[in-house]
């Protein structure tokens, strides 16, 4: 789902928003000695390099430091953050034939009377709660101040 580049011109930092324990992945233009420089930038922390996909991996707690360091070193750094949301509705709401003004569903009547659209799944033992997960990737570029 992330937009990995075959030959990035600026570093790209990838992060998912699932928990604080996730790692960030970093894809950069070919650069000699970057692993040691990243380690120094984060104060001696652990940096892995995956030779198969040619990305650096390190703890997401360093994302701000790493993005600023890479933006300053390369002039810019692209950041891709994947967010995930869950929408909720009830089958009785989606199957309703009444006007949504009286709907008291958790969706606020947004899906009222629409049937059971694609992407929804049952999430309760009673068989009425429906959920739908959505993933979105925010992409932005941070510009640095090269030394």
For residue 12, give the 3-state DSSP assignment: strand
In a domain, 6, yes or no: no
Q: How many residues does the chain have?
A: 147
pLDDT for residue 3: 64
Could you tell me the residue range of the domain that residue 114 belongs to? 85-133
79 and 106 housed in the same domain: no
Residue 118 confidence (pLDDT) above 80: no
Convert the pLDDT of each residue in 56-106 to its tens digit.
999 888 989 999 999 999 999 999 888 777 888 888 888 888 877 777 888
Q: 33-41: long-range contacts (C-beta < 8 A, 24 or more apart)?
A: 37/69, 37/73, 38/66, 38/69, 41/65, 41/66, 41/69
Indicate the angle between helix axes 34-41 and 63-74, nearest 10 degrees.
130
* Position 4 confidence tier, pLDDT thresholds 50, 70, 90: confident
30 and 68 housed in the same domain: yes
pLDDT for residue 41: 93
86 bridge partner residues:
133
94 and 60 housed in the same domain: no
In a domain, 7, yes or no: no
Convert the pLDDT of each residue in 10-68 to its tens digit.
899 988 765 555 788 899 988 888 889 999 999 988 898 888 778 899 988 898 999 99
Full-model pTM: 0.66
Convert the pLDDT of each residue in 125-141 to its tens digit.
666 777 887 777 788 88
Which tokens belong to 21? 């324990």
In a domain, 3, yes or no: no
pLDDT for residue 67: 93
State how far the alpha carbon of 136 is from the alpha carbons of 81, 83, 101, in Å.
8, 5, 30
Q: Please report the DSSP string for 28-67 in residue order.
A: -S--TTHHHHHHHHTTS---EEETTTTEEEEEGGGHHHHH
75 and 48 housed in the same domain: yes
Q: Total domain count for the chain? A: 2
pLDDT for residue 37: 92
* Residue reference for tokens 């997401």: 60
92 and 113 housed in the same domain: yes
In a domain, 19, yes or no: yes
100 and 75 housed in the same domain: no
Q: Please report the DSSP string for 88-100 in residue order.
A: EEEHHHHT--S-G
Structural contact between residues 87 and 131, judged by C-beta atoms closer than 8 angstroms: yes
| CB count in 10 Å sphere of residue 34 | 19
pLDDT for residue 73: 92
In a domain, 102, yes or no: yes
pLDDT for residue 126: 64
């Amino acid at each position: 789902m992330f937009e990995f580049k075959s030959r990035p011109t600026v570093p790209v930092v990838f992060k998912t928003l699932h928990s604080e324990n996730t790692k960030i992945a970093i894809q950069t233009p070919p650069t000699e000695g970057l692993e040691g420089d990243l380690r120094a930038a984060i104060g001696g922390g652990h940096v892995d390099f995956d030779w198969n996909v040619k990305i650096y991996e390190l703890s997401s707690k360093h994302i701000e430091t790493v993005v600023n360091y890479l933006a300053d070193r390369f002039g810019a750094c692209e950041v891709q953050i994947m967010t995930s949301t869950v929408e909720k509705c009830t089958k009785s709401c989606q199957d309703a034939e009444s006007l949504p003004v009286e709907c008291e569903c958790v969706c606020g009547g947004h899906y009222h009377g629409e049937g059971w659209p694609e992407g929804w799944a049952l999430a309760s033992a009673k068989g009425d709660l429906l959920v739908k997960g959505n993933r979105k990737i925010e992409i932005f570029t941070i510009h640095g101040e090269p030394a």
